[in-house]
A and B are shown apart, each in its own frame.
Chain A
Amino acid sequence: MFFNRSLKLLSKVLTVFFCFTVGGPVEAAVLKIQAIDQQNKPVENAVITATPLFSKVEIVKQTKIIDQINKEYVPRVVIISKGSSVKFPNKDNIRHHVYSFSKAKQFELPLYEGSTAPPVEFNSEGTVTLGCNIHDWMRGYVYISETPFAALTDKKGAAVIQELTEETYRVDFWHPRLKKTLISREIKLQQDSIETVKIRLQLKQLIKKRQKMKTRFGRYSD
């Protein structure tokens, strides 16, 4: 275990070293993404990953946090590299029951409070959809990426992946509501360049959260 971890650390150090030594004082390539949907609206929370086709990239394990605040997962989408862990601290004063039946990782954290739940490790790449057994609408997504070059679009649908080298990348686009499972594109990046990619994502309709329009006793009052 220790060995494993020290190996990872070593590789990271080596990569940095490589950048500085081989690339010299050069500017890395930058991939700028602009995601819109079929209505030309910016798409938030779209995951973009860039996987170099020819070189291998060292993956660094992380531990990320998905909070449960006000009966919502915050943030809704988290990108982690394979083997990383996610902690699910509960900030609400009620218990939550986090679960996933996704192929990449099936687990459940039965009703708990605070930070009592252990971190969950995701060892298969793919997407994991998180639900809450007692709150139907709570939705969270963990994207387990093979590559460290990954970004999440902001509210304007924009995302930036920096520190890319001159390389051909397979750029994957994913979104919880994407009609197709995954969209991939090959992009060749030049050194010192800023590549801007505009991507249109065909999204499924957002299912509205059903809210009771009337109080239980005022059914016939309208």
Chain B
Amino acid sequence: MTMQFKRFQTRLIVFFVALLALLQLTVFLAVNDANIRNARQVIKENLQVGSSVFNRLIEERTRNLFQHARLISSDYAFKPAFYSDDRPTILSALENHLQRIEDADIMLLVDLDLKIIADTRSPEITSETVAWPALIERAEQNDYAEATAVVLIENLPFQIIVVPYLSPDINAWILLGFAIDQQVADDLKQMINSEISFFVSSDSKQWRLTRSTLDKDKAGSLMRKNKQQELSFNQGQTFTLDDEEYIVLYTQLAENKTVFAMLQRSLDQALKPYLRLRQTLQILMLFGLLLSLLGALFIARKVTKPVKALTLSVQKIEQGDYHTKIITEQKDEIGQLAGSFNQMAKGLEEKEKVRNLLGKVVSKEVAEELLCRKIELGGEEKQATILFSDIRDFTSLCEGAPAQEILTMLNVYLTKMSAVIEINHGVIDKYIGDAIMALFGVPVNHGNDAHNAVATAIAMNQALQKLNKDKFGKAIKIGIGLNTGRVVAGNMGSPDRLNYTVIGDDVNLASRLEGLTKFYDLPVLVSESTRTAADSFVYQEIDRVRVKGKQNAVAIYRPVALLSQISQPQWLEVEICSTMLSAYRAQKWEKALEQLDQLALIEDSEFCQIYRQRIAIFQVSPPPQDWDFTFEFTEK
């Protein structure tokens, strides 16, 4: 599963908190590990010290015992008692001495044949061989006739020493001993601050727990563990007693391997101060995490809030609202960004203002072209269809009407026409009074610009019909001329004041064609090139003309309708016109007139009148030999 943090705020928080958590975890683990390891080491060292202390303690006590024994050994007062041969007296004397020695628990007098003379532990015993002959044998071998050993008496270890009884030569052996009992264990525990347990064994195989400073429950657990042979008796062992981990050190008490002490220390106890520290550490960590969370949240908010505002503002600008402004008091990068953004919005607003103004002065497309490109004088040759439209008899229309009214009417008219042109992707080049010059194919080539131009011309007439009917209440007529050809399109004028427009012969021809509409009393006239370029329309050839200032004659046409939408009567009209023109051009005047009569039945147009007149003239004076059917216009 992959989590995705789409929001910057979340990412920032997750990053910071995760980083801190990781760092803290690492520190925590390292500290924890070091502490536990240190605690173990300290315990081990303490146990070593404890072991030394324990051995030293036993040594000291043993030494003390020797010193006491030596005093007794040569004590003069005891001698008469010893030689009295009266056992109760001797025993009493021994007990007397034992009382003087705080450190000793038992005292025996053994004769040279190792028979017990008196034993403070068992007053009734006499003439029995002592239980530890080897100890006395060792004393006999010793330079000072002394020896010591650990022996077991009823499974309790005793440190026993032997010194000779001198009166003044060796006449007997004095044995003194102290028990390695609970008292020793408790003393030791107080000194070394470790638990201590004594194990004894008579065969070095089966070990018994005799005394321990552990409390009853733990001692019981230890005993069970021992019984289940879970104690390895190897150095460095650790084991748990009632869920408490202990580190253990074994120390041998005597060479004869009957007793050893197990020093043990609870790891948990040793770690207690650290555990408190750990708790504090954990709280601190939690606090730190919380703080970092809040901090990250704060910083993220500080960053995301202006970013959000920025986003909102950008969206507003996208929708065209440039009045948006980000207010921030931050002085950092975000603040700088907000400042820059505000600057940008202001810039965009100004640019948009200019663009709007430009759009009003020139057409949208031209404005775009001007804004997009580097504005410089000059142009390029392009294929374009030029439309000229003009209100017929505008001057007479204006007569007697207030200028304001005219202007209002003109504005309504131009607005409507402009809309039609723009809908058909035409570009208004300029208004010349009531006339409109529009371009198709520049600055942007749409691929079907001639078609658009013809469609525009038809639509303009339709729109005018509607205006006439709805707004003006009079029959305003317009004439539209269309021509397609290569033109030069570009910025013209001076570097300070320029105009995007087109120039060329074909522009002039379009203008001339517009002029001819009045003559033929037709709403639209297109040139041959336009007819060829916009071939989805059906055209009616009107004439072949040579306009003023032009050498070449051009055929002029009237667009009838879209090929797909043409009606039967329209077809008929077009066909009659075509037959009439053929007859006319073949100088079959009668046939032409016949056709004209038919045409007149449909509509007795100016077209019919013109050709009747011409035929009438040609019937009187036939056309010259080189007649090329062209009608020459000598004025504009």
Within 8 A of B (CB), among A115-166: 129-133, 136, 138-139
A205 to B140 alpha-carbon distance, docked (Å): 8
**Is A205 touching B141 in the complex (CB atoms < 8 A)?**
yes
Within 8 A of B (CB), among A182-222: 204-205, 207-208, 210
Q: Given known contacts A205-B140, A210-B144, is B168 in contact with A131 (CB within 8 Å)?
A: yes
Interface check B76, CB cutoff 8 A: yes
Smallest CB separation, A213 vs chain B (Å): 13
Contacts of B145 in A (CB 8 A): 205, 207
Interface check B170, CB cutoff 8 A: yes
**Is B169 touching A176 in the complex (CB atoms < 8 A)?**
yes
Q: Given known contacts A106-B83, A133-B76, A136-B74, is B164 in contact with A207 (CB within 8 Å)?
A: yes
Within 8 A of A (CB), among B66-91: 70, 74, 76, 79-80, 82-83
**Is A205 touching B143 in the complex (CB atoms < 8 A)?**
yes
Interface check B167, CB cutoff 8 A: yes
**Is A131 touching B167 in the complex (CB atoms < 8 A)?**
yes
A130 to B170 alpha-carbon distance, docked (Å): 13
**Is B143 touching A101 in the complex (CB atoms < 8 A)?**
no
Smallest CB separation, B225 vs chain A (Å): 41
A45 to B567 alpha-carbon distance, docked (Å): 174
Contacts of B297 in A (CB 8 A): none
**Is B144 touching A139 in the complex (CB atoms < 8 A)?**
no
Contacts of A208 in B (CB 8 A): 143-144
**Is A130 touching B168 in the complex (CB atoms < 8 A)?**
yes
Smallest CB separation, A208 vs chain B (Å): 5
Q: Given known contacts A101-B83, A106-B83, A136-B74, is B168 in contact with A207 (CB within 8 Å)?
A: no
Contacts of A136 in B (CB 8 A): 74, 166, 168
Contacts of A176 in B (CB 8 A): 169
A138 to B166 alpha-carbon distance, docked (Å): 11
Smallest CB separation, B239 vs chain A (Å): 38
Q: How large is the interface on B (under 10, 10 to 19, 20 to 34, 35 or more residues)?
A: 10 to 19
A97 to B83 alpha-carbon distance, docked (Å): 18
Closest to A210 in B: B144
Closest to B166 in A: A136
A129 to B166 alpha-carbon distance, docked (Å): 11
Q: How large is the interface on A (under 10, 10 to 19, 20 to 34, 35 or more residues)?
A: 10 to 19
**Is B169 touching A101 in the complex (CB atoms < 8 A)?**
no
Contacts of B76 in A (CB 8 A): 97, 99, 133
* Chain B interface SS verdict (over half): mixed
**Is A207 touching B143 in the complex (CB atoms < 8 A)?**
yes
Smallest CB separation, A108 vs chain B (Å): 9
Closest to B169 in A: A129
**Is B167 touching A207 in the complex (CB atoms < 8 A)?**
no
**Is A129 touching B168 in the complex (CB atoms < 8 A)?**
yes
Q: Which of A101, A132, A204, A210 has the most CB of B within 10 A?
A: A101
**Is A101 touching B167 in the complex (CB atoms < 8 A)?**
yes
A97 to B76 alpha-carbon distance, docked (Å): 11
Closest to A106 in B: B83
Q: Which of B74, B141, B170 has the most CB of A within 10 A?
A: B74
**Is A139 touching B167 in the complex (CB atoms < 8 A)?**
no
Smallest CB separation, A194 vs chain B (Å): 35
A205 to B138 alpha-carbon distance, docked (Å): 12
Closest to A176 in B: B169
Within 8 A of B (CB), among A78-115: 97, 99, 101, 106
Contacts of B169 in A (CB 8 A): 129, 139, 176
Closest to B141 in A: A205
Q: Which of B83, B140, B164, B168 has the most CB of A within 10 A?
A: B168
Contacts of A133 in B (CB 8 A): 76
A68 to B145 alpha-carbon distance, docked (Å): 26
Contacts of A205 in B (CB 8 A): 140-141, 143, 145
Closest to A137 in B: B168
Contacts of B80 in A (CB 8 A): 101
**Is B79 touching A207 in the complex (CB atoms < 8 A)?**
no
Contacts of B79 in A (CB 8 A): 99, 101
A101 to B82 alpha-carbon distance, docked (Å): 10
Closest to B142 in A: A205
A133 to B166 alpha-carbon distance, docked (Å): 11
Within 8 A of A (CB), among B138-197: 140-141, 143-145, 164, 166-170
Smallest CB separation, B241 vs chain A (Å): 39
**Is A207 touching B74 in the complex (CB atoms < 8 A)?**
no
**Is B83 touching A207 in the complex (CB atoms < 8 A)?**
no
A101 to B80 alpha-carbon distance, docked (Å): 8
Contacts of B82 in A (CB 8 A): 101
Smallest CB separation, B520 vs chain A (Å): 145
Contacts of A139 in B (CB 8 A): 168-169
Contacts of A129 in B (CB 8 A): 167-169
Smallest CB separation, A222 vs chain B (Å): 16
A101 to B84 alpha-carbon distance, docked (Å): 10
A136 to B168 alpha-carbon distance, docked (Å): 7
Smallest CB separation, A49 vs chain B (Å): 20
Within 8 A of A (CB), among B229-272: none
A132 to B166 alpha-carbon distance, docked (Å): 11
Smallest CB separation, B528 vs chain A (Å): 136
Closest to B73 in A: A136
Smallest CB separation, A77 vs chain B (Å): 13
Closest to B70 in A: A210
Smallest CB separation, A154 vs chain B (Å): 22
Smallest CB separation, A106 vs chain B (Å): 7
Contacts of A99 in B (CB 8 A): 76, 79
Q: Mark B297-311, 1 if CB is under 8 A from A, else 0.
A: 000000000000000
Where the two chains meet, the residues of A that have a C-beta atom closer than 8 Å to any C-beta of B are 97, 99, 101, 106, 129-133, 136, 138-139, 176, 204-205, 207-208, 210
Instruction: Add 13 more A-B contacts to A99-B79, A129-B169 (CB < 8 A).
Output: A99-B76, A101-B167, A106-B83, A130-B168, A133-B76, A136-B74, A138-B168, A176-B169, A205-B143, A207-B145, A207-B164, A208-B144, A210-B70
22 examples of A-B residue contacts, CB within 8 angstroms: A99-B76, A101-B82, A101-B167, A106-B83, A129-B167, A129-B168, A129-B169, A131-B166, A131-B167, A131-B168, A132-B168, A136-B74, A136-B168, A139-B168, A176-B169, A204-B140, A205-B140, A205-B143, A207-B145, A207-B170, A208-B143, A210-B70
The 10 closest A-B pairs by CB, nearest first: A131-B168, A208-B143, A136-B74, A101-B83, A133-B76, A207-B145, A101-B167, A129-B169, A101-B79, A208-B144
